[in-house]
Structure formats: structure tokens, C-alpha cells
A and B are shown apart, each in its own frame.
Chain A
Amino acid sequence: FYTPRPKRPDLNSSSQQDYLKRFYSLNLGDHRPPVRSVRSASTMEEKIQEMQNFFGLKETGNMDPHTLNVMKEARCGDPDVDN
């Protein structure tokens, strides 16, 4: 069975990534270095915009306070897209 990875110290960025993986099918795994860091930053930005679009937020592509607040709210565990 999948065992939950212990949350890393920089909770915010990893929990943000977990959120986008779980609810917006963020997949950072398939890039080979050194492309990874550039490509994954843009993938991350796309997924943040997708989430902002779903919740009717301004699509800045970065973790502004509004976006973080929505992420922290109690929610359903089912994905928002590609369900």
C-alpha cells in the first residue's frame, strides 16, 4: 500500500505540491535533470493557474495569500480535475 510520505520541514511548498498532485494531477516526476528544475517550475505554475481558475481566483500562477487560504480550507479528498 501507498504509505504517506512524512511531510518535509518546508511544509508549505511540499504540502502545496501534495495538494496540486492530489487534486490537479501535478506530475513532476517525468523530467530528467537539468531540465527538471526549469520544466517543473513551469508545470507547477500551470497547475497553480489551473487551481486558481477552478476556484475563480486571479490566475497569477504563484502562491499568493488568497490561493494559500483556499488550499488550507477543509475540503473533499476527490480530485477537482481528471477525476
Chain B
Amino acid sequence: FAFYPNRPKWKNHIITYTIARYTPDMKKEDVEKSVRSALKMWSDATPLKFIKINHRKADIVFSFSRRTHGDFFPFDGPGGVLAHAFMPGMGMGGDVHFDEDETWTMTLGKNWELNTYSDLLSVAAHELGHSLGLTHSRDPSAIMYPNYRHQSDAKYSLSNDDVRGIQTLYGGPNKKMETQVASKKCDLTFPQLFDAVTLIENEICFFKNRYNVFISSQIDAAYDIPAKGHKYWVVEQLKMKSRAGSIYEYGFSSRVRRVDAAVHVSEYGKTMFFVGEFYYRYDEHNRRMDPGFPRLIRNDWSGVPRRVDAAFKLQGSIFLLCGTKSYQYDFRQKQVVNVIPGKSWLGC
């Protein structure tokens, strides 16, 4: 691996990028996907984070142009030079230019009549090495080798040479950061440990203020409705699926200003909503509240404190998180069967 003179690099580890001009050879989303994959190859090996913005003032501007295109390095028509990039710096620094006279594709492939490699991922990955501060490597297996690597089958990834080069400039991925976050989650000293918890596919997702922590475990998929104030959202695959809805559509009285916790019990087709010292039971089949609710929690949930912060269902039990503890409630025996410190859910 090699560097530019004086080893220029980005001071800030959060680097913005934008795609100023696309190629007509590929769908826009395929260009973006190829660029994202190329960026990920470098961010996986470093503490760098890449953020896409729609602004030409981004640190790295990608564009497709032909022949003379505003810098002193005109392209040469089909074949030959496919792209070039500039070392880290202001203005054009870091920018990546692709030769529009090539035929760009998403897959690794050879454009036989032009005898040129035209797959955007491998070319973008190479040029990004320049944008981050690497010049050409003499190692034929390196992405930074001047001629784009002939990787028609092997999974495209950085070679050891590329990794050693880029980590000389920026260091390795933020293991420290991960442990920091980990220790941070264990330092949780809030009186109320969690605001809400839900299950998303096979992961338990805890919410606290602006944090959320995913814990993977062997659990049945369950469904909860994390509610905030008098609004609720339906989330599917972590994409906001619906506009904010009103909890009053569920039949809550107008006095209710927020829902503390919710848990669905599929065996009965019922969803429990906990509001202050009371709870409601909602019939998902009839899509309305069961009559005779709200009722006091302490009257019906033996062993559970007066208020509930968060609730979720796991392997046949309902877990109610109150303050710093979690109560495993067996809804068949109608009693608490276990009390577990809240932090233990976070591996603390």
C-alpha cells in the first residue's frame, strides 16, 4: 500500500457523500447500491462512517462524465481509464469521477467488445481508496492495484494490503466504541430502566430515551405496540409503515394521555394496555376494547407492582418491566413466577 505525500486523510470520521450525476447505463438505485457496498468495504475496516446527503458540498462527490469534464484529467473514451479520484481535501478533494464512455453495470462482468471491466462496485471501491488517502499498491491482490482486479467470482473484499494501508491512516473499526456502548447500557441507573420493549422478528428491542438496544434470542415472534403519548405507530421491518395513528381509535377514554406498555397474548387474541395503575384489554378479533375495563393492575396481576413501564411476551410468559426489575408473569397460573433484574436483559 502507499499514501499521498504528507499522508492527507479526513480528520472527521463521519464523511458525507453525494452522487451528483448518475449514469444512464444503470438504474439509480443500482448505482446507489453499488456505491453503498463499496463504501461499506472501507467502513467495515475502519472507524469511518459514511452519510449520504443531497448536497454538492459533501466531502465525496461521485459523478459520471466523459472526456474533458472540469478537471485537468480528461477521460479517454471507451476502455483504458475507467475512473479517477482525488485525495482527501476541500472542494474537489475526495471526489470520484467515472468515465461515462464506459458501459456501467452492477454485476462483475467484462464488456467484451470494449474489453473493459465495467462493474461499478469494483471501480468505486478502488477509487474510494484514493478518496480516503491511499495511492496505488503493487500487490496484484489489492483493490488499490492500478488495474481493476479480475474478480469475476470471488466475493469482492479488501485484501490484507488494503486493510493494513487504510488502518495505518484511520485505525481499525471502533471495537472500543462498541464496548463503550456496552458499558454505557450497563451503567443505566435510571429509576425506570426502560420506556418500552417490543419484539421485532427474533430480536427483543428495548427503548430508553433516545437509545434502543436489540437483544437477539430464541424467541417466538410476538407483537407489541410501543406507544408514545397519545400516538402509536405500526412498524414493519423497522420501516415506518403507517402515519401516526391516534390511540383513541382503540377506544381509550379521552382522559388517557399516554400508554405505558402493551403486550399481545396471541393464545387469547387479546392485547393488554397498561395505563398508570390501570390496564385495558383489547380484543384483536373484534377490534375493540373488552367491556368492564379499565381495571386496577394490582387487583388482577398478582405479584406485579402498581405500575408497568414496559411489557413483552417471551416463550409463553409475559414479562413486565417495572422500575429496575422485570416480573415473569405466567398468565395461565395468573401469578408472578420469577423476578429478574432489568439489566440482565442487556447482558449486564
Contacts and interface: CB of A to CB of B under 8 A. Distances in A.
Given A1-B68, A4-B68, A83-B4, A77 B147 contact: no
Given A1-B68, A2-B68, A4-B76, A75 B146 contact: yes
A55 B85 CA distance: 21
Interface in A54-83: 54-56, 70, 72-80, 83
Given A4-B67, A80-B136, A83-B136, A74 B72 contact: no
Looking at chain B, what size class is its interface with the partner chain? 20 to 34
A56 B67 CA distance: 30
Contact of A76 (B68, B126, B140): B126
A39 B5 CA distance: 29
Nearest to B126: A76
Interface of B: 4, 67-68, 72-76, 79-85, 87, 99, 115-118, 123, 126-127, 130, 135-136, 138, 140, 146-148
Given A56-B138, A83-B4, A76 B76 contact: no
Contacts of A56: 138, 140
Given A76-B130, A76-B148, A77-B84, 13 more contacts: A54-B136, A55-B146, A75-B80, A75-B81, A76-B123, A76-B146, A76-B147, A77-B83, A77-B99, A78-B85, A78-B130, A80-B135, A83-B4
A77 B81 contact: yes
Given A23-B146, A83-B136, A76 B72 contact: no
16 contacts: A1-B72, A2-B68, A3-B68, A22-B81, A74-B82, A74-B116, A76-B82, A76-B83, A76-B123, A77-B73, A78-B130, A78-B135, A78-B136, A79-B135, A80-B135, A80-B136
Contact of B84 (A72, A76, A80): A76
Given A56-B138, A74-B147, A4 B84 contact: no
Contact of B80 (A2, A54, A74, A79): A74
Nearest to B144: A76
A39 to B, nearest CB: 26
Interface in A23-78: 23, 54-56, 70, 72-78
Interface residues of A, number: 20
B72 A73 contact: no
A1 to B, nearest CB: 6
Given A23-B146, A76-B146, A54 B138 contact: yes
B135 A83 contact: yes
B81 A76 contact: yes
A23 to B, nearest CB: 7
Contacts of B81: 22, 74-77
Contacts of B138: 54-56
Contacts of A75: 80-82, 146-148
Contacts of A1: 68, 72
A56 B136 CA distance: 14
Contacts of A79: 135-136
A20 to B, nearest CB: 13
Contacts of A77: 73, 75, 81-84, 99
Contacts of B73: 77
A2 B72 contact: yes
B340 to A, nearest CB: 57
Contacts of B117: 74
A79 B136 CA distance: 8
Contact of B74 (A4, A55, A83): A4
